[in-house]
Amino acid sequence: MSNGRALLTDREREIVAGEADVDDPYRYQTISRVRQRFSRLEGDLEAMEKHGELANEVREIVCIESGQEAEE
């Protein structure tokens, strides 16, 4: 059983990382689909803010693990 995905499926992760043998147009389409998800992420964060700690947990994963401080 699959654990689902965060922003990328396993296949998209391979394509974006350059580990999959696909043609350039398909790679660009995949990257475009991922970027479209970013626009929906703002709404997800707004919903998580209402929960309380969920938004902060996401910020820690995205910001702190990438070497940036999470803004509060």
Mean pLDDT in the chain?
A: 85
Question: Does the pLDDT value for residue 27 go beyond 90?
Answer: yes
Question: Does the pLDDT value for residue 70 go beyond 60?
Answer: no
Instruction: Please tell me the predicted confidence (pLDDT) of residue 1.
Output: 46
The answer to whether residue 3 sits within a structural domain is no
- Helix and strand numbers (H, E) in the chain are 3, 0
The answer to whether residue 35 sits within a structural domain is yes
The answer to whether residue 72 sits within a structural domain is no
Instruction: Please tell me the predicted confidence (pLDDT) of residue 2.
Output: 56
Structural domain range at position 39:
10-64
- Residue carrying structure tokens 């350039």: 24
Query: Could you give the number of structural domains in the chain?
Result: 1
Question: Does the pLDDT value for residue 66 go beyond 70?
Answer: no
Instruction: Please tell me the predicted confidence (pLDDT) of residue 23.
Output: 97
Instruction: Please tell me the predicted confidence (pLDDT) of residue 38.
Output: 87
